[in-house]
Amino acid sequence: MSTINFTHAENCTICLEPYSPGEIQARIHTASLIPHNFHEACIRTHAIKGVKKHLCPLCNQPLQNVTFWQKNNEDTYTQVERAPLIRRVDEDLNNQFLKYAFRFLCIGLTLVVIKAWQNGEFGV
């Protein structure tokens, strides 16, 4: 993990609240080479509920290169490991496939059990 000094706006530009020591911040590196900082909770909410959820709320650049930092004191931050801000599209497609495959399997097994019951194979 690395520790850096960086200066930025004193308040999150989403909620307008100040950053506090111990808080986790998301730092978005954009094409303009000027990183934008947000509270982790604010940018995660934006990434889930926002109208342009895959874009930076300040510059509309894609949310691709996001790092997370914990504020130590006035201008010192330590990088921390966090879950990715945005899941990849292929992960979402894979999850959808597994969900529908499981449903199909459950329906198929249910039909087999019903057919066996109708044929009296359970001995009831």
Q: pLDDT for 13-61, tens place per residue?
A: 889 998 888 888 888 876 667 788 888 888 888 887 766 767 888 888 7
| DSSP code at position 64 | -
Asked if residue 89 has pLDDT above 50, the reply is: no
pLDDT at 91: 55
Q: What percentage of the chain exceeds 90 in pLDDT?
A: 2
Indicate the range of 51-65, 69-83, 91-105 predicted with least confidence: 91-105
Task: Please tell me which residue, 4 or 117, carries the higher pLDDT value.
Answer: 117
The residue whose two tokens read 């001995």 is 123
CB within 8 Å of 110: residues ≥ 6 apart? none
Rg for the chain, CA atoms, rounded: 24
